[in-house]
């Protein structure tokens, strides 16, 4: 469940809430019994991934497909491509799809055109599966982290040594490479289904480009000259608590500094020199940094995924600190959270919101003193988000709930500048940044065609329809960049919501708290994808991928 609070009424009166809505509230829900489309593939669906252009990348035990997310039509199919999910990586901000083919002790990496499947460039002197990707389109730089032999039984303590390779984004030329100095603990891609699984580096923050440098965060914080690989700064410390994921914060930056955490400390690294300007010590586990003007708010303690089984573990001490972002001086510390703490939310410049096991708490942003507190009644409170009305949504986890964060993560990379390198680059003036890309000639396009790619839909369309389809893919990307996430999805009892009974996925509007969307499903697919741009929800059953239309009740 979740609850919605009006921060203004909550803070000024400190008593009853102006808006309080539960998931079980009655609502007019559009029921979607029949799928909008269904695509039958050549084997059981092993994985399916969204991309910002509205193309779904789907892997079976035999082939790799790219499907038009609006229609379910196969844009292309690559036969005999028995790829794992970790072998496939859409490159954010581009129309490229990285494919990793392992054979013996070597790996062939290809950058394929997402819309045609054609190979734009390849690298043959690599080893391992693709773990993480970072891109800097303005400088034509692509950083890819690989790990070798990253498969095994789900367990704690599985370690491998990451290898970083940096490429020219347009040509695939390898510019430099770096091997991380020690093995790091990895995270299973899934738990509980038996057998071997792929391991990932999802328990670490991905590499990041900034100011002509590339930052790595696997064994501390290290920065390199992004084009030459020359090491600029290095500070070694344990990035995560042993056996837990993402226990240190994602770095944040302003015009002068990059702020990082680790080893119970927060550091400000100068963007001009790469040197540590200041360090705040003895804060404790610091999984979140929020920068607001000249103040850096730091959450200590929280809820973390256990690598051995995927369960949630809570670690303290729990609290919030405020640090002067220019000097590192700790302005105040608050340690009043009770047995747990959620992320921070800042509804206005004077207020910091946080929830613990029992209460929603408002802190004075200037002094750290508690201004108000109210019981939230949410079991296992896990997060706070602010909706469009500025209300705080407190949400929790229950055994019957499935929360989709796919829309939020897709929206993050959809906001970056876009560069097209494949067929989409032929459409001038559509999509941000597309018009500046050189148009490949017909001979170049023919040379790129991979012989094992079949069923190219765009090749079968006349020029007018091809342009229309390309324009729609680019529109999807631009629309995604402008969207704000308004929906969360839960697996719950639909009785009284959809005019029927049984269980299914309910879409709850975080602005109203009303369950206004529903798809009846007695056997849900936990990998489901909700695409707010197309208004469709995607899920797989055996050898089929389904799309369900999710419309608001009453529309």
Question: Assign residue 517 a region: left if phi > 0, alpha if psi is -120 to 50, beta otherwise?
Answer: beta
User: Which residues of the chain are under the pLDDT cut of 70?
Assistant: 1-33, 104-105, 193-194, 237, 397-416, 427-451, 481-485, 495-501, 551-555
Phi and psi at 523, nearest 5°, equal -130, 80
In this prediction, residue 471 carries a pLDDT of 83
Q: Is there a domain that residue 258 lies in?
A: yes
Residue for token pair 């613990």: 356
In whole angstroms, what separates CA 234 from the centre of its chain?
A: 27
Which residues are CB-contacts of 3 (< 8 A; sequence separation ≥ 6)?
17, 20, 21, 22, 376, 377, 378, 393, 394, 513
CA 46 from centroid of its chain's CA atoms: 20
**143 Cβ neighbours under 8 A, 6+ residues apart:** 133, 134, 135, 164, 165, 166, 167, 207, 209, 214
Tell me what pLDDT residue 69 has: 94
**381-386: strand order across its sheet:** 2-5, 392-396, 381-386
CB-CB contact of 530 with 517 (8 Å): no
In a domain, 337, yes or no: yes
Q: Tokens at residue 416, please?
A: 């970056």
Q: What is the DSSP string of 304-352?
A: EEBTTT--EEEEEEEEEEEEETTT--EEEEE----S-----EEEETTEE
What whole-number distance in Å separates Cα of residue 290 and Cα of residue 299? 8
Domain containing residue 324 = 243-343
| Residue 458 within a domain | yes
DSSP code per residue over 404-473: --HHHHHHHHHTS--B--SGGGGSTTSSTTGGGSPPPPHHHHHHH--TTEE--TGGGS-HHHHHHHHHHH
- Is 436 part of any domain? yes
Q: What is the dihedral of CA 455, 457, 460, 462, to 10 degrees?
A: -170
- Considering only CA atoms, which of 317, 319, 322 is closest in space to residue 367? 322
Q: Residue 285 carries which DSSP code?
A: -
* Residue 74 in domain: no
Residue 302 placed within a domain: yes
Q: Roughly how many angstroms between the first and final C-alpha of the chain, as a whole number?
A: 25
Contact present, 344 and 320 (Cβ < 8 Å) = yes
Domain-embedded: residue 524: no
Number of CB atoms found within 10 A of residue 292's CB: 14
Give dist(CA 236, CA 387) in Å, integer.
39
The Cα 391–Cα 363 span in angstroms is: 16
3-state SS string for 177-191: EEECCCCEECEECCC
Which helix (H) or strand (E) segment is 7 a member of? helix 7-13
Tell which residue, 524, 430, 525, has the closest CA to residue 477: 430
Final residue before a domain boundary, out of 343, 361, 390: 343
Residue after which a domain boundary falls, among 441, 465, 481: 481
CA neighbor of 285 nearest in space, from 311, 312, 263: 263
How confident is the model over 41-67, as pLDDT tens digits? Answer: 999 999 999 998 999 999 999 999 999
- How high is the pLDDT of residue 380? 81
Which residue in this structure is represented by tokens 């399916």? Answer: 48
Q: Into how many domains does the chain fold?
A: 2
Residue 234 CB coordination number (10 Å) = 14
> What is the rounded CA–CA span in Å between residue 297 and residue 352?
9
> CA dihedral defined by 116, 121, 123, 124, rounded to 10 degrees?
70
Cβ proximity of 434 and 423 under 8 Å:
no
User: Which of 432, 462, 481 is the last residue before a domain boundary?
Assistant: 481
pLDDT in tens, 515-532: 777 777 777 777 888 888
Distance CA 185, CA 192 (A): 19
Give me the CATH number covering residue 299: 2.40.10.480
Mapping DSSP to helix (H, G, I), strand (E, B) and coil, where does residue 133 land?
strand
The residue whose two tokens read 């901000």 is 93
The CA-atom distances, in angstroms, between 214 and each of 31, 208, 217, 415 are: 47, 6, 10, 20
In degrees, rounded to 5, the angle at the alpha carbon of residue 50 between the alpha carbons of residues 46 and 52 is: 160
User: Which two structure tokens, joined as six digits, stand for 409?
Assistant: 């993560």
Residue 388 neighbours by CB under 8 Å, 6+ apart: 484, 486, 511
Would you say residue 449 lies in a domain?
yes
Tokens describing residue 426: 């032929």
């Amino acid at each position: 469940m979740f609850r919605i609070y009006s921060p203004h009424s909550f803070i000024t009166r400190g008593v009853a809430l102006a808006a309080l809505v539960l998931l079980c509230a009655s609502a007019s829900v559009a029921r979607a019994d029949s799928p909008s489309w269904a695509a039958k593939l050549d084997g059981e669906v092993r994985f399916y991934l969204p991309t910002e252009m509205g193309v779904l990348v789907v892997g079976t035990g035999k082939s790799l497909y790219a499907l038009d997310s609006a229609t379910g039509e196969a844009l292309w199919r690559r036969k005999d491509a028995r790829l794992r999910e970790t072998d496939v990586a859409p490159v954010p901000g581009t129309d490229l799809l990285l494919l990793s083919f392992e054979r013996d002790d070597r790996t062939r990496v290809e950058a394929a055109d997402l819309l045609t499947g054609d190979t734009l460039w390849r690298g043959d002197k690599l080893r391992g599966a693709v773990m993480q990707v970072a891109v800097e389109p303005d400088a034509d730089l692509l950083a890819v982290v690989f790990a070798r032999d990253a498969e095994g039984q789900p367990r704690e303590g599985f370690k491998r040594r990451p290898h970083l390779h940096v490429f020219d984004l347009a040509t695939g030329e390898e510019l430099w490479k770096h091997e991380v100095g020690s093995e790091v603990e990895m995270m299973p891609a899934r738990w509980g289904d038996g057998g071997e699984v792929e391991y990932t580096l999802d328990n670490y923050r991905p590499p990041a480009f900034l100011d002509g440098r590339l930052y790595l965060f696997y064994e501390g914080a290290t920065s390199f000259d992004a084009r030459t690989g020359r090491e600029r700064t290095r500070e070694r410390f344990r990035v995560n608590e042993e056996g837990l994921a993402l226990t240190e914060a994602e770095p944040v930056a302003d015009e002068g500094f990059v702020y990082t955490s680790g080893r119970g400390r927060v550091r400000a690294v100068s963007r001009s020199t790469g040197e540590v300007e200041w360090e705040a010590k003895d804060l404790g586990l610091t999984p979140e940094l929020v920068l607001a003007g000249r103040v850096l708010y730091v959450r200590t303690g929280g809820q973390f995924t256990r690598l051995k089984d995927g369960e949630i573990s809570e670690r303290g001490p729990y609290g919030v600190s405020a640090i002067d972002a220019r000097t590192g001086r700790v302005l105040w510390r608050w340690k009043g959270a009770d047995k747990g703490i959620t992320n921070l939310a800042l509804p206005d410049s004077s207020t910091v919101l946080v929830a613990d096991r029992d209460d929603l708490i408002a802190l004075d942003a200037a002094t750290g003193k508690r201004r108000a507190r109210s019981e939230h009644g949410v079991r296992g409170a896990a997060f706070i988000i602010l909706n469009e009305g500025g209300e705080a949504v407190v949400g929790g986890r229950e055994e019957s709930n499935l929360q989709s964060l796919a829309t939020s993560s897709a929206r993050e990379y959809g906001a970056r500048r876009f560069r097209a390198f494949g067929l989409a680059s032929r459409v001038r003036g559509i999509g941000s940044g597309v018009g500046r890309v050189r148009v490949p000639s017909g001979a170049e396009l023919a040379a790129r065609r991979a012989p094992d790619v079949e069923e190219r839909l765009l090749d079968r369309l006349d020029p007018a329809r091809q342009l229309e389809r390309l324009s729609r893919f680019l529109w999807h990307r631009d629309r995604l960049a402008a969207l704000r996430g308004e929906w969360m999805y839960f697996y719950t009892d639909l009785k009284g919501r959809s005019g029927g009974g049984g269980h299914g996925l309910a879409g709850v509007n975080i602005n109203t708290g009303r369950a206004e969307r529903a798809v009846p499903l007695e056997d849900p697919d936990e990998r489901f994808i909700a695409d707010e741009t197309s208004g469709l929800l995607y899920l797989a059953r055996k050898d089929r991928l389904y799309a369900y239309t999710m419309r608001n009740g009453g529309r």
